[in-house]
């Protein structure tokens, strides 16, 4: 192992990852050695500064054959295991290509994309949403491989949680909205789908590439109905591209219609599963101690219920 190669672990990443989490702190402490190990194992040369997301550290590298790539370091989790399964199933079709993977540590070697050019940099929202919708249509065309989490199980767990969670919301109208979302999920749970979903396809999870103009990154693959994948797109650049138009209803419906048309979805089912995402976000927020819903959640759910 070549431990002489300096690996930059940003302070903000280390602090957030290890907060109140002994295993996270231990993993952060071991990161430089882990990175050096895989630089040697996969014959990689570090190139440039690291960057990070919520749960991973990404190091630009060059392979022995001179091609550019990135080394993605993350703890082994259900998310990281699912990501490798999904990326293999997609095989680079509309998504970043998986070049190598170590299941024991969760480490991935991925195709290098242009991190400085996310889809959120495209000013024309209709153009950006069309690009996203076309990528999403390609992704959900693939049947989910065995071994992924299934929407049916996630939906059932959400419905079990609703009675305990809803009273934490201060506003009775928001309580009613969450219960309405739960009712929509209950009607659809028996037909939860079998497509390979990205689960987090928003503008900043699509980067410019060389192999294709735009490619998706950071999937959290899930087996289910494509309607459950629409929320992150509807919420993308909410203030700048939706609220700033002065007509939130029109902007939301324009996005929803564009997405459902591109994916060939039944709008009623897509509405129901989008309400399922509002429910999921609400439950996560309540678990984090919040007592009110995010304005975008309320707006999108209300608009779709009235359409």
Catalytic residues: 200
Count CB neighbours of 43 within 10 A: 12
Cα–Cα dist 86/146, whole Å: 10
CA atoms within 13 A on the CB side of 56: 22
Alpha-carbon distances of 156 from 37, 65, 188, 198, 230, rounded to whole Å:
41, 48, 11, 20, 20
Region label for 150, one of left (φ > 0), alpha (ψ between -120 and 50) or beta (otherwise): beta
Cα–Cα dist 121/128, whole Å: 9
Cβ atoms of 249 and 303 within 8 Å: the answer is yes
Which residue, 181, 125, 121, is CA-closest to 155?
A: 181
Cα–Cα dist 256/197, whole Å: 17
Cα–Cα dist 175/169, whole Å: 6
């Amino acid at each position: 192992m070549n431990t002489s190669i300096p690996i930059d672990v940003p302070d903000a990443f280390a602090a957030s990852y290890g907060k109140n989490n002994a295993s996270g702190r231990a993993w952060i402490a071991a990161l430089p050695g882990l990175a050096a190990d895989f630089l040697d194992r996969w014959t990689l040369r570090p190139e440039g500064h690291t960057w990070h997301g919520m749960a991973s550290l990404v190091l630009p590298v060059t392979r022995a054959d001179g091609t550019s790539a990135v080394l993605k370091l993350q703890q082994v989790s259900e998310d990281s295991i699912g990501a490798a399964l999904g990326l293999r199933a997609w095989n680079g079709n509309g998504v970043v290509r998986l070049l190598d993977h170590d299941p024991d540590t969760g480490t991935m070697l991925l195709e290098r994309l242009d991190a400085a050019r996310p889809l959120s940099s495209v000013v024309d929202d209709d153009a950006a949403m069309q690009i996203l919708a076309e990528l999403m249509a390609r992704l959900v065309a693939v049947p989910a491989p065995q071994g992924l989490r299934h929407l049916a199980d996630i939906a059932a767990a959400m419905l079990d949680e609703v009675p305990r969670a809803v009273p934490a919301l201060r506003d009775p109208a928001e309580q009613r909205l969450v219960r309405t979302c739960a009712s929509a999920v209950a009607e659809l749970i028996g037909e939860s789908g079998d497509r390979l979903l990205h689960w987090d396809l928003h503008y900043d999870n699509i980067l410019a590439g060389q192999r294709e103009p735009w490619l998706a990154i950071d999937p959290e693959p899930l087996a289910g109905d494509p309607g459950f994948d629409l929320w992150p797109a509807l919420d993308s650049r909410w203030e700048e591209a939706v609220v700033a138009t002065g007509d939130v209803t029109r902007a939301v419906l324009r996005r929803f219609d564009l997405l459902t048309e591109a994916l060939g979805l039944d709008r009623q089912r897509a509405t129901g599963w989008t309400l399922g995402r509002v429910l999921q976000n609400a439950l996560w927020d309540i678990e984090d101690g919040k007592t009110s819903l995010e304005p975008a959640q309320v707006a999108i759910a209300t608009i779709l219920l009235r359409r």
